[in-house]
Structure 1
Amino acid sequence: MTNQIQTARWWQAPVTRIAGMTVGLLIAVGLTQIIQARLEGLSHFVIGGVIAILPAALWLTIFYFQNRALTPPKAMVKEVFIASILLAAAVGVPLVRSMFRIQDWFDLSVLHEALGAILIVGVTQEFLKFAAVRWTVYPTEHFREHLDGILFAVVASLGYTTVLNLYYVYDNPSLDLAVGVIRVTITTLSQAAFACVLGYFLGRAKFEGDDIVQLPKGLVLAALLNGIFTFGREQVNQKFEINLLNSLFIVVAFAAVVLPGIFALMQRAAMQPPRKILETRSDHFVAWVLIGITLVALGAGWYVKNSAENRTRAFQSTANGISLMFPAYWSQGSEEGALVAFSDPRGSTTFVSRPRAGMDMSASVPVVVIGEDVLWLKGQKLFIFSRQGDATAFARLENIWRNLLASVRLD
């Protein structure tokens, strides 16, 4: 009983500190709003970097300044933290941003955004947090009770959050200071909360057995919560102006809904009596099960990505005798001398068609640094399909460009 009381007090102190840190961060946000600062140039690089790493640094003090015998070994805390940073930087962020390019199609429809948030963002982030714990401290004697699952999973989330926050800060060259502070705070709190769910099941798997059920359950539930939160945050950002008030609303709503459940999990884990590690299935077998679940989810996410990018809309002009299919996320505009003009908001690329006949063509073809024109002759009419933009957009949109041309019908 004494050990249980000590353990309960151990986690209650960090909870109090977390609450204090959160209040302190909100006060800091209020001050930044008064200052009305916008980070640019050197200040963006220096202050933005500090903002990105400060939440994780504050949370890590919880682990480094505990004097109780039940405190996790500092060396293992550092190992899990660094492993998570490396996994996020080398695998997680490149997978989501470069391979799935989720930022290019994430907001095409509510369904695609919700599925992408869960299957790609949620599963990737939670599996890599699991990996940071599983292949460092989990098999060792330092993972010695239920609560350690939550504590080390939170440490893994702090490493992952640091990378996410750095990308966010440096992807916004003119960053509003107040909004930036709120965003990194939201990211830190949410990632830690999902890690608590994952860590709770890590502890149960090791000390209660049935890891073939507990670990997949923890991964799926944490990924689901992660995806729902990501989807909700993006919906708020799309439908409302990104400002201090809306950002604070997200923090308060998230804290009110999620944190009570998280603290209940921590208390439940802390009050579990010490148990011997149970003989369970092969660790390698269970790890492969989770890898399989992750790959299946990412495969489904790849299908969602292709489905989103391949959605099309029809354009038809009876007056000019032209019809074609174009990607649903393109915007239709106008351009002087053009029959039809579309623009890809993600690739800064413009697609236009111009009819020309019986005149000097040199003045009608766009003069661009990088461009491609396709000339079609229909009777006495010459149609020019032109795209222009940066080299990156050209490579990325090659298949879409070919599909568009294949859909053209000239009457």
Structure 2
Amino acid sequence: MLGIISAGVAPALALMSFFYLKDKITEPIPLILRTFIFGGLLVFPIMFLQYAFESDQIGNLFVQSFFVVAFLEEFFKWFVFMYIIYQHTQFSAHYDGIVYAVSISLGFATVENILYLLVNGIEYAFTRALFPVSSHALFGVIMGYYFGKAKMYPVNRAVNIILALVIPIALHGIYNFILGYVTKNWALYVIPFMILLWFFGLHRVKIARASS
């Protein structure tokens, strides 16, 4: 049990440290922990909703990928950010949005990862770290980037708040659609997608750090 929990938590801690330490003025640890915990708690209502949709066999692979998985997960993360962070006084720079959105996303990914490893075994820990956990972190980067733009540049605030939801949903949906559509040699498709996602995410990190 301890090994599974450690394997489930380790990739999130590594990724959180990576993005946290890129901040020019680091954010308060208690607030990071708070957003991380809220992100983790999201797993349970989302699991219930996903189970309800899947048990009713609603929709095809496209609907399952983009609505049942991507929309539900990214919307709840987006909502937590809006409710806890957006008006918070500590959210005072463009890059701060990335730090807090990544924290929410990795909280979600950590609980999801631990539950998966408990059911399927610790042998999946490395693959889970490379793909689902890192993808959640990168969806958080992109969400936080647009939240940061919305906070720092009020002219296009509404558009950027919407983009903070729509773009992560689109990318998350594509990721899940690939996994659902490709049954053999899925890594040949997922790895190039993840490389592009890392490139896209790190480019947003660079821009946000420069403007902060």
TM-score by length of 2: 0.87
Kept in 2, the 8 Å contact 1:122–1:224? The answer is yes
Q: Distance in 1 between matches of 2:97 and 2:81?
A: 8
Cα 1:219–1:80 change in 2 (3 A) is same
1:327-385 C-alpha deviation (Å, 9 max, x unpaired): xxxxxxxxxxxxxxxxxxxxxxxxxxxxxxxxxxxxxxxxxxxxxxxxxxxxxxxxxxx
Identity %: 25
- In the alignment, structure 1 residue 100 sits paired with structure 2 residue 100: no
Say yes or no: does 1:231 pair with 2:177: yes
Q: 2:184 maps to which residue?
A: 240
Specify the code of the residue in structure 1 equivalent to 2:36. F
Alpha carbons 1:147, 1:203 under 8 Å: kept? yes
- Summarize deviations over 1:148-167 as a string: whole Å, max 9, x none: 11111111111010121122
Please give the alpha-carbon distance, in whole angstroms, between the structure 2 residues aligned to 1:176 and 1:70: 36
| Structure 2 counterpart SS, 1:196 | helix
**1:56–1:271 CA distance, 2 compared to 1 (3 A):** same
CA apart distance, 1:208: 0.9
Match of 2:84 among 131, 136, 142: 136
Instruction: Report the RMSD for the aligned CA atoms in angstroms.
Output: 2.5
C-alpha distance in 2 between matches for 1:112 and 1:68: 41
**How far 1:235 moved relative to its partner?**
2.5
Structure-2 separation of matches of 1:88 and 1:138: 21
Q: Deviations over 1:2-25 (max 9, x none)?
A: xxxxxxxxxxxxxxxxxxxxxxxx
* Larger strand share, 1 or 2: 1
Question: 1:85 deviation in Å?
Answer: 1.0
2:136 equivalent to 1:181: no
The one-letter code matched in structure 2 to 1:101 is E
* Counterpart secondary structure, 2:85: coil
Q: Which amino acid aligns with 1:88?
A: V
1:70 correspondence with 2:25: yes
What is the 5 A alignment of 1:84-123?
84-89=39-44, 91-97=45-51, 99-101=52-54, 105=57, 112-123=60-71
CA deviation vs aligned residue, 1:296-322 (integer Å, no higher than 9, x gap): xxxxxxxxxxxxxxxxxxxxxxxxxxx
- In 2: Cα distance, 1:189 partner to 1:135 partner: 24
Work out which of the two has the higher radius of gyration on C-alpha atoms and give 1 or 2: 1
Structure 2 residue 103 is matched with structure 1 residue 155: yes
User: Any conservation in 2 of the 1:114–1:228 contact (CA below 8 Å)?
Assistant: no
Q: Contact 1:63–1:72 (CA<8 Å) still a contact in 2?
A: no
Which one of the candidate residues 192, 205, 216 is aligned to 2:150? Answer: 205
**Contact in 2 for aligned 1:153/1:199 (Cα 8 Å):** yes
Match in the other structure for 1:169 = 117
Structure with a larger share of its residues in helix: 2
Q: 1:212 to 1:52 in 2, by over 3 A?
A: same
* 1:187 Cα deviation from its structure 2 partner: 0.8
- Match for 2:199: what amino acid? P
Count of residues in correspondence between the two structures: 211
Tell me whether 1:191 sits opposite 2:130 in the alignment: no
Give the structure 2 partner of residue 257 of structure 1: 196
Q: Is the 8 A contact 2:16 2:102 kept in 1?
A: no
Q: 1:170 to 1:101 in 2, by over 3 A?
A: farther
Gaps of 5+ in 2: none
Distance 1:78 1:63, change over 3 A: farther
- Cα distance between partner residues in 2 of 1:232 and 1:257: 14
User: How far off is 1:184 after superposition?
Assistant: 3.6
Listed one character per residue, the Cα deviations across residues 207-258 of structure 1 (whole Å, up to 9, x for unaligned) are 111332211122111101101101112223xx227xxxx55x4663233221
Residue 175 (structure 2) pairs with residue 222 (structure 1): no
